[in-house]
Amino acid sequence: MNERACWLALHRAPGIGSIGFGRLLKEYGSPAAVLAAPEKATNLSNETRHYLRQPDWGAVEQDLKWLEQPERYLLTLADPGYPPLLREIPDPPPVLFIHGDPSLLSLPQLAIVGSRNPSPTGAETAAQFATYLASSGLVITSGLALGIDAAAHEGALAAKAPTIAVAGTGLDRVYPARHRALAHAIAKGGALVSEFPIGTPPLPQNFPRRNRLISGLSLGILVVEAALQSGSLITARLGAEQGREVFAIPGSIHNPLARGCHRLIREGAKLVETAQDIWEELGPLVGSMADLQPQEKHKKIEESSRDPEYQILLDCLGYDPLPIDTLVERCGLTAEAVSSMLLMLELQGRITALPGGRYLRCGKEGQS
């Protein structure tokens, strides 16, 4: 087996984890060396030793098959393109699966997280902050969850800027399933990222691990709305432990979704009222990384919305409300592609979503 397959095989070994993987790398020098002589490794369980003697090459082949598709990548700790900030955390993931642009992971990022059931104001605030800061040069990173996560991703897409979604599953799955179109749009101009092998389901224990990647990739973490038991507080605290800036937006003392933010502020998070407050803190940290030409950073997203297929979809849509099924039939495109393009066009204000899952073109489209 080649070197990539050895990384994937060792990554799937039970009972090792990121810290154990790093220890084995230091002890042996490479995953191939570990697999060649597992009996020499110390502090391993019998289950782990048994696996190392007989790795699950069938599962590894599943990973490799997924990686054969366009715009899919694998980064390992040995790759020079591995995100430098993530490499600094105590337990960096040994491998990263990426669907989209892997270079984005090394750009300056802000994580925006919060409640899965935010208030309308909270969701709007997350989107507005994301749009402003994405336009200023920060890549917006979040977890593809319902609520604040989705609003943050959509706010970045509205700015025609890339955004990064860190998944708690294998990248052959989208969780929650209703975000399939959003995930497709993110991958088209940004990146979907996961440390979990292909086929990994959305297990509860995956998401705290996912959260350390969200904070580890980022310069800072913004919590928009969060109850006291919100998982976003885990992300914020992991970020603080990793030396990241933590920001929180205050709210009403009567709002349960403000209590998590208030606790973070009492613990030392920086209270912010505007997106400019965050830029004033992170701008100096961005340094030369923020000098990337905007047209280069946003090129892929701008080009995607000028793709001929978008014009085909607009021509099929017209000015009478139509459901997705009809558009799929008229355009000859897949339902996933149509859903993704509709989301992008809606974020750009070129179409309007109506009740019942119907869409129509905005009047200004006919005047351009």
C-alpha to C-alpha distance for 363 and 181, rounded to whole angstroms: 24
Alpha-carbon radius of gyration of the chain: 22
The tens digit of pLDDT for each residue in 112-147 reads 999 999 999 999 999 999 999 999 999 999 999 999
Q: Which two tokens stand for residue 281?
A: 């803190």
In order of 35, 55, 74, 129, 151, the CA distances from 28 in angstroms are 10, 17, 21, 46, 44
pLDDT in tens, 248-291: 999 999 999 999 999 999 999 999 999 999 999 998 877 645 44
> Residue 161: phi, psi to the nearest 5?
-115, 155
pLDDT digits (tens, 9 = 90+) for 326-367: 988 888 888 777 877 887 787 667 888 887 778 888 765 544
**pTM exceeds 0.95 for this model:** no
Domains of the chain, by residue range, sit at: 1-68, 102-293, 306-367
* Per-residue pLDDT, 251: 94
Task: Give the percent of the chain with pLDDT over 70.
Answer: 92
Residue 186 confidence (pLDDT): 98
**Under CATH, which architecture does the 102-293 domain have?**
3-Layer(aba) Sandwich (3.40)
Q: What CATH number does domain 306-367 carry, 1.10.8.60, 1.10.10.10, 3.40.50.970, 1.10.20.10?
A: 1.10.10.10
> Which strand (E) or helix (H) includes residue 133?
helix 120-136
Residue 306 has pLDDT above 70, yes or no: no
| Digit-coded pLDDT (tens) for 55-98 | 999 999 999 999 999 999 999 999 999 999 999 999 999 999 99
